[in-house]
Amino acid sequence: MRYTLAEIAAKIGGEVVGDENLVVTGINSLEAASAEELSFAEEKFLEKALTSKAGALLVPRKVENLSQPLIICDQPFRAAGLLMMEIDKAAQMVDHRIDPAAVIGENVSLGNNLYIGPGAVISDDAVIGDNCRICANTYIGKAVQIGADCHLYPGVVIRENCRLGDRVMIHPNSVIGSDGFGFFQVGGCNVKIPQIGRVIIEDDVEIGALCTINRAALGETVIGRGTKLDDHVHLGHGVKIGHEVIMCAQVGLAGSVHIGNQVMLGPRSGAGDHLTIGDRARLMGNTLTAKNLEGNKDYGGIPAVPVKQALRQMMAATHLPKDRGRLAKLEKRVQELEKLLQK
């Protein structure tokens, strides 16, 4: 990054107060920014900005006590995010090439402007769209279809017959299309049920590191358009996820769960098999459900209940040790009274 404040203001629709020809070479937090870097402060952090050593600041309004040049814009955090996206795009740029150490199978269809890193394996009959970046040591199984502008980080595994839409990003060491956990017992032995379905990932999905998405036993596991998964998320076989869903770290969904559109699942939340969570429901962290949940409501607790009830239950739990002691005293007193009455 190397921009004048005037150039940055033009990119984000802001107004410069001070030296518009000042050049900044990066963006950083208020605490860590140097005199060569830009930082940002929303209204509630303007007082904190007074002690920042940043060379310039993105702020929502003019502040008299700030000595640095300013760029005034409506949403400093959003403006900073746009700049960070541009910096990241430049940092991620690679040459369009196929590394000699990559392994390409037979009857593979490769799009234009690809990067395929060393050790990547693309199996027979796979289809890779334009402008994809397939990083080192990824594995793409037989007959996998990948759309345009996808980015697979190192160590990603996409097993056979799975399909990715456009602009899908998968972070390191995630596995798409691993076998669902399907077994039945015969004579006391666990016999594996073949998992012959696949995984469908629609456009603009982002999947964090170390996620596992099971293929369906039959049919499809589906992740809907615009959905974002944090690290360490597990989706069982046959799960159906709607559009624009957010799943925080360590969410776990058993087989055949259906999640509606724009649902938000907090960290370590989960659902038992064959359950449905309605559109725009929100589960706070550590929430587990054993029944269907209606949409447009907030939930918490184990088992999941409306969030206000969950908070009351948690507050009540903090009083249990004291209440237990009081109950023991009452029981002792009742026993003493019963003995007196018997006399």
Distance CA 9, CA 17 (A): 10
Residues 6+ apart with CB under 8 A from 128: 108, 109, 110, 111, 114, 122, 134, 140, 146
Virtual CA dihedral for 261, 262, 263, 267, nearest 10 degrees?
A: 140
Residue 84 token pair? 């960070």
Residue 303 token pair? 């088992």
The domain segmentation of the chain, as residue ranges, is 3-91, 97-310, 318-342
Q: Which pLDDT does position 51 carry in this prediction?
A: 93
CATH class of segment(s) 97-310:
mainly beta
Residue 312 token pair? 């009351």
Q: Which pLDDT does position 333 carry in this prediction?
A: 85
Residue 17 token pair? 């107060």
Residue 124 token pair? 């027979």
**Domain 3-91 and domain 97-310 have a common topology:** no
Residue 305 token pair? 């209940």
Helices (H) then strands (E): counts for the chain: 5, 40
Distance CA 91, CA 217 (A): 40
Task: Map 83-117 to HEC letters.
Answer: HHHHHHHHHCCCCCEECCCCEECCCCEECCCCEEC
Q: Which pLDDT does position 332 carry in this prediction?
A: 84
Q: Which pLDDT does position 319 carry in this prediction?
A: 78
Give 251-298 as a DSSP string.
-EE-TT-EE-TT-EE-TT-EE-TT-EE-TT-EE-TT-EESS-B-SS-E
Distance CA 305, CA 297 (A): 10
Distances from the Cα of 312 to the Cα of 185, 286, 296, 306, 308, angstroms: 43, 16, 20, 10, 6
Distance CA 162, CA 192 (A): 21
Question: What 3-state DSSP class applies to 212?
Answer: strand
Rg of the chain (C-alpha set): 27
Virtual CA dihedral for 210, 180, 291, 289, nearest 10 degrees?
A: -20
Q: Give the chain's largest Cα–Cα span.
A: 98
pLDDT, tens digit only, all 343 positions of the chain: 789 999 999 999 999 999 999 999 999 999 999 999 999 999 999 999 999 999 999 999 988 888 999 999 999 999 999 999 888 877 777 788 999 999 999 999 999 999 999 999 999 999 999 999 999 999 999 999 999 999 999 999 999 999 999 999 999 999 999 999 999 999 999 999 999 999 999 999 999 999 999 999 999 999 999 999 999 999 999 999 999 999 999 999 999 999 999 999 999 999 999 999 999 999 999 999 999 999 999 999 999 999 999 888 888 888 778 878 888 888 888 888 888 888 7
Contacts 24+ apart (CB under 8 A), 306-313: 307/282, 310/284
Distance CA 160, CA 101 (A): 22
CATH class of segment(s) 3-91:
alpha beta
What pTM, to 2 d.p., does this model score?
0.85
Distance CA 4, CA 91 (A): 19
Q: Which pLDDT does position 81 carry in this prediction?
A: 92
Q: Which pLDDT does position 334 carry in this prediction?
A: 85
Q: Which pLDDT does position 321 carry in this prediction?
A: 80
Q: How many C-beta atoms lie closer than 10 Å to residue 96's C-beta?
A: 11
Active site residues: 237
